[in-house]
Amino acid sequence: MLTGVGDLGGWALEFLARTEGVDRIVTVKRSPWSGPSKSAMAMMGSVFQGHTKAFEHHQVDLADTDLMARLLDGVRPDAILHSATVQSPRRFMNADVEPARRAAIRSATFGMWLPWHLLPAVQLTEAIDKSGIETHVVNASFPDVVNAVVWKHFGHGPAAGAGNVEVCAARILRYAMETSSAPADEISVSLVGSHALLAYGPAAGVPHHFELRIAGRDVTDDHDLNTILMSWPEPINWGKADVFSLFAASAVKNVVALLGTGTTRTHVTSPFGLPGGYPAHVEGGRILPHLPDGLGLDEAVAMNEAAARWDGIDRIDSDGTVVYTAEAGTAMAELGHRCEAVTIDGLALQSERLQSVYESLTTTR
Ligand SMILES: NC(=O)c1ccc[n+]([C@@H]2O[C@H](COP(=O)([O-])OP(=O)(O)OC[C@H]3O[C@@H](n4cnc5c(N)ncnc54)[C@H](OP(=O)(O)O)[C@@H]3O)[C@@H](O)[C@H]2O)c1
């Protein structure tokens, strides 16, 4: 099941439509627009690769947790790929905003938009609880923080996130292949990192742990991680909206790994609610962090918790309340958004308030 069939979810739908072993794909979206059409396109397009899977689409608002619970009970999905968000970051990426204001909004950090990414994930978790079904959730919406909040609040939540550290690790592998001419199976990448590492880079001081081995030899010190993550490969325009296929591919990889029978050696963002991302093995429906020698899980988690400060997140309390850093709080207040913490109880209201702030920031010059 795909909850959210926008840009990222639309790509995921197309990839899943061509994935062996997936025999039924159910899409869920709030508005009547584009969902049935995307589902029908995926159904027809997958025929070219020899697939004749079942496709069905449902128009459901995740806020209606009773209706969603009934749908879940009827469908009983093996896995849910969740990418619903109140408003995509693509809208700001493409908005006509003067450079000084864009810079001010950026300095309030990506964490400012947390309520938009968190609200649908909380609603989905409530619906799953009401339905009583067991399923794997892979959440692509700001998973480094959202998954950690959901797990703290509900005591369970998404098995995995997608993108972010997974994208960084893929880049390092391809870079190492290109610069060393070694085959992929001789290259071992290990990266503990987060959304903040992808967004701001190692040179910004974002905590992380990186190890690169080629043919068993540790060559980490021969490589500048900042160059790899911030400027390679050159043709990719990360500031534009046409890069979400990459993140969708990562989410599909996690779904397939969780449902598969073998062992997938990979990187996973926010496995079982841990903050940030880790090297991991996925097998038997479980994700096992696979850290390099000398690095303990507590140390890796502490690194990613510290890295969240670059996204404006000071800490996540045991009930799931997200407390912003003082710097992010001040930057948000200067934009007219006074918010020291995001609470689960106040989430719907905070999301609405954020919408008004966004409209005022992007329509007034
Ligand atoms: N993990 C990563 O590395 C990574 C990278 C890029 C993006 N992302 C995240 O991916 C998410 C999706 O981005 P996007 O550009 O694909 O967004 P999008 O195009 O706006 O799609 C969002 C989808 O969510 C649906 N939706 C929203 N609220 C809903 C609700 N209450 N009930 C049911 N469906 C609802 C929307 O349906 P309607 O149109 O019908 O409302 C739409 O299909 C964002 O959170 C973004 O930050 C993650």
Ligand 1 centroid, distance to 184 Cα (angstroms): 33
Phi and psi based region of residue 215 (left: phi greater than 0; alpha: psi -120 to 50; beta: remaining): left
Residue 142 lies in a domain: yes
Ligand 1 pocket: which of 1, 30, 139, 355 to mutate (most atoms within 8 A of CB)? 30
Residue 39 lies in a domain: yes
Residue 160 lies in a domain: no
Same-domain status, 191 and 91 = no
Phi and psi based region of residue 16 (left: phi greater than 0; alpha: psi -120 to 50; beta: remaining): alpha
Same-domain status, 95 and 201 = no
Same-domain status, 149 and 169 = no
Ligand 1 centroid, distance to 10 Cα (angstroms): 10
Same-domain status, 8 and 144 = yes
Q: 194 CB under 6 A from ligand 1?
A: no
Ligand 1: atom nearest CA of 87 is: 20
Residue 200 lies in a domain: yes
Domain that holds residue 358: 312-363
Same-domain status, 144 and 199 = no
How many Å apart are CA 110 and CA 108, to the nearest integer? 7
Same-domain status, 141 and 6 = yes
Return the CATH number at 244: 3.90.110.10
Ligand 1 centroid, distance to 88 Cα (angstroms): 6
Domain boundary among 293, 308, 323: 308
Domain boundary among 154, 178, 207: 154
Domain boundary among 308, 324, 349: 308
Domains of the chain: total = 3
Ligand 1 centroid, distance to 85 Cα (angstroms): 4
Same-domain status, 264 and 316 = no
Which residues are bridge partners to 29 per DSSP? 59
Same-domain status, 295 and 320 = no
How many Å apart are CA 136 and CA 245, to the nearest integer? 21
Ligand 1: atom nearest CA of 116 is: 45
Same-domain status, 185 and 226 = yes
Same-domain status, 177 and 214 = yes
Q: What is the pLDDT along the chain (365 residues), one digit of tens a residue?
A: 999 999 999 999 999 999 999 999 999 999 999 999 999 999 999 999 999 999 999 999 999 999 999 999 999 999 999 999 999 988 888 888 889 999 999 999 999 999 999 999 999 999 999 999 999 999 999 999 999 999 999 999 999 999 999 999 999 999 999 999 999 999 999 999 999 999 999 999 999 999 999 999 999 999 999 999 998 887 777 776 678 999 999 999 999 999 999 999 999 999 999 999 999 999 999 999 999 999 999 999 999 999 999 999 999 999 999 999 999 999 999 999 999 999 999 999 999 999 999 999 887 54
Q: 89 CB under 6 A from ligand 1?
A: yes
Ligand 1: atom nearest CA of 269 is: 1
Residue 286 lies in a domain: yes
Same-domain status, 202 and 297 = yes
Q: 8 CB under 6 A from ligand 1?
A: yes
How far CA 184 is from CA of 172, 174, 189, 204, in Å, comes to 11, 8, 10, 29
Ligand 1: atom nearest CA of 84 is: 24
pTM of the predicted protein model: 0.97
Residue 159 lies in a domain: no
Same-domain status, 287 and 203 = yes
